Chain A
Amino acid sequence: MEPRLLANKKDFTLKGFFLQWEWLLVVLIMAVFVMNANLSEYFMDYDNLRDATMGFLDKAFIVLPMVFIILMGDIDISVGSTVALSSVIMADLYNHGMPMEMAMVICLAVGTLCGWINGMLIVRFKELSAVIVTLATMIIYRGIAYILLEDQASGKFPKWFKFLAWDYVGSIPFILIAFVVVAVVFWILLHKTTFGRRVYAIGNNATASRYSGVQVDRIKIVVFTLAGLMAAVTAIFLTSRMGSTRPNIATGYELEVIAMVVLGGISTAGGKGRMIGAILAVFLIGFLRYGLGLVNVSAQMLLIILGLLLIFSVAIPQLKQRFATGRKK
């Protein structure tokens, strides 16, 4: 049989380029800007925007590994509790005389450990879903935070620590720079490395990946551990921004983080979506929140909006697919 020649260059079509979910997010971000600028004269102020960014970027660190987790078809709802636990331990150690630098290292270690435990449990007990495992650890991690601190707040951090979340490099917030650096690392990890490729493979078909020699278990553990580590990074920035910590800190973060990832176009069925979408979604939700806050929309209303946003961003692709197949019939 005559071997056929196969093309190995991708055709570039303008239509295909613009028919991407990410453009919708860009348009939405612009819409948020236009709407908010009309609603409040303070919105477009550079200083205000900059400070708003500092306000919502802390949880954005968790969004990055959560993209990997949801891409693999799993979920982690324990991240908010991991933030609380690592923050509380850091504060507690510092207040018992440990140097702040050391306490921060321990904070990162605690977060990493929490994530690793999640990963190990999920891999060792495949009959349990990530939902139930991280649900249990969510309660346990926050439970430990409560045992340590009861209903107290813990603060009195050194001055330099409090400035972490408020500091600027030139006129750019430090946290923004940190986020951009970490985001670029995660972007490269997902889109340019063998690791990222294998994560996509697992999300699309874990069995076939295993048969192809992909070490599914090891990759899962690494990804969940990364989520724990990033939750600890969030804990540091959040604690710094708040100036103190409590066991109930970062409650509901899992919802926001998952909402951002899903809104970013990452399919909950696994295997589909890109890092850039999730990053855009971080800014979309952040600015939306900030703008609505300026016009005095209540925190409760924001909860409702966030919940609905999550539902709609999952429902739209589902419905699209349903109507696409429905029409064929």
Chain B
Amino acid sequence: MKQTATESAGLQGAQVGPKTQQRSISAMIAKFRELGLLAFILLLSVGVQLRNPSFLTWENISDIATNTAILSILAVGMMLVIITRGIDLSIGATLALSGMTAALTVSHYPELHPLLAVAVGVGIGLVCGMVLGFLVAWVNILPIIATLGMMNVFRGLTFETSGGKWVSAHQMPASFKAIATGSVFGINNLILIAILIYIVAYYFVSHTRTGRRIYAVGSNPDSAEISGIRTGRILWLVYTIMGGLSGLAGVLWVSKFASAQGDTASGYELSVIAACVLGGVSIAGGVGKISGIVLGSVLLGILNNALPMINVSPFWQMFIQGTIILIAVLVNALVKRGIDRNHLMRRKI
């Protein structure tokens, strides 16, 4: 899952003509991004390790991995939304609402099978996403406005359903907490779930018709309409998927931290957006890869874990995150300008 369909699939396909260097320029920059991210991750790890030897311990690494898992699950959904030129600020609230509902459900019915609790959370998330999708796709509200409004509605609902109280560890049955803490073959469930989602998402975006049409809608909405793609349906689907993933993340979050609060994951959407733009998802739409956002999430996860370890005050975290988003989008924009300029230079006059 390292390349988009255009590069990976059918490398055995026909190679026509000598103009292959044309392809390699854009492809190289795209590849360079992933390598660059990877190199940066390695450098960062080594640097932190030199300052604090407890960084690269098995325990800490698995801690980073489980934290990154939830972030990257959300980043998959956010990538789809951003590809269609949208944005979703409501996912933190959706996550909280579905996490809270699932937690309340299991605290009332401790016998409930954990999978059913997951289903409850995902179901709530799907409904939230559908509502948003409806507002964006059919009522034609700008994504930023729709998600800003619904963010508050979902957040308010979270407080309302819980009556402002927390659901804490002792109210949750062990089976529920085991969703996130359990493991299969020694690998944490969260990581397995995340990897499963990457694989499914990768297959979806590069090997199915609907998946490719998400890119088409983001790349050129007008011609998507002319070629008969039902743009509204694609938009709706994208926000619904985002909602479903937020719901799932909500259950995992509550199970992992064994507590559900009204302000769970408040502001988390910003980390998710940061992971996406770091991973090369273009805010202008049409561009984004699973491999990119996974690396973006890993980088953010490492940063969040490493900063306290090298004695950076937690109060710096927000500033650092904002700066990362800003620099990442600016760099994306400059790289795009470079590519366009290259195309122009190659034109024969």
Interface size on A, residues (CB 8 A): 47
A172 to chain B, nearest CB (A): 33
**Number of contact residues on B: which range applies?**
35 or more
Select the residue from A150, A268, A298, A314 with max chain B CB neighbours within 10 A.
A314
Is B112 an interface residue, CB under 8 A from the partner? Answer: no
Please measure, in the bound complex, the distance between the C-alpha atom of A306 and the C-alpha atom of B151, giving whole angstroms.
11
Secondary structure of the A side of the interface?
helix
Please measure, in the bound complex, the distance between the C-alpha atom of A20 and the C-alpha atom of B159, giving whole angstroms.
37
Please measure, in the bound complex, the distance between the C-alpha atom of A270 and the C-alpha atom of B162, giving whole angstroms.
39
The answer to whether A311 touches B141, judged by C-beta atoms less than 8 angstroms apart, is: yes
Please measure, in the bound complex, the distance between the C-alpha atom of A301 and the C-alpha atom of B135, giving whole angstroms.
21
A64 to chain B, nearest CB (A): 19
The answer to whether A140 touches B142, judged by C-beta atoms less than 8 angstroms apart, is: no
Q: Which residues of A contact B164 (CB under 8 A)?
A: 298, 300
Is B37 an interface residue, CB under 8 A from the partner? Answer: no
Please measure, in the bound complex, the distance between the C-alpha atom of A307 and the C-alpha atom of B145, giving whole angstroms.
10
The answer to whether A300 touches B313, judged by C-beta atoms less than 8 angstroms apart, is: no
Select the residue from B135, B270, B319, B322 with max chain A CB neighbours within 10 A.
B322
Q: Chain A 234-264 against B: per-residue CB contact (8 Å), 1 yes, 0 no?
A: 0000000000000000001011001100100
| A135-B270, A147-B316 known; A311+B322 contact, CB < 8 A | no
Q: Chain A 116-149 against B: per-residue CB contact (8 Å), 1 yes, 0 no?
A: 0000010001011101110111111111101100
Is A75 an interface residue, CB under 8 A from the partner? Answer: yes
Binds A, one of B173-181, B202-210, B220-228, B326-334: B326-334
Cβ 8 A contact of A315, one of B139, B153, B316, B337? B139
Please measure, in the bound complex, the distance between the C-alpha atom of A140 and the C-alpha atom of B159, giving whole angstroms.
28
Cβ 8 A contact of B149, one of A133, A144, A310? A310
Please measure, in the bound complex, the distance between the C-alpha atom of A139 and the C-alpha atom of B300, giving whole angstroms.
15
The answer to whether B270 touches A143, judged by C-beta atoms less than 8 angstroms apart, is: no
Is A328 an interface residue, CB under 8 A from the partner? Answer: no
A319 to chain B, nearest CB (A): 6
The answer to whether A318 touches B151, judged by C-beta atoms less than 8 angstroms apart, is: no
Q: Which residues of B contact A311 (CB under 8 A)?
A: 135, 141, 145-146, 149-150, 153
5 more contacts with CB within 8 A, not counting A133-B326, A147-B316, A151-B315, are: A136-B325, A139-B325, A146-B315, A303-B159, A318-B139
**B-contacting residues of A (Cβ < 8 Å)?**
75, 77, 121, 125, 127-129, 131-133, 135-144, 146-147, 150-151, 252, 254-255, 258-259, 262, 268, 298, 300-304, 306-308, 310-311, 314-315, 318-319, 322
**A-contacting residues of B (Cβ < 8 Å)?**
87, 135, 139-142, 144-146, 148-153, 155-157, 159-160, 164, 262, 270, 273, 277, 283-284, 313, 315-323, 325-326, 329-330, 333, 336-337
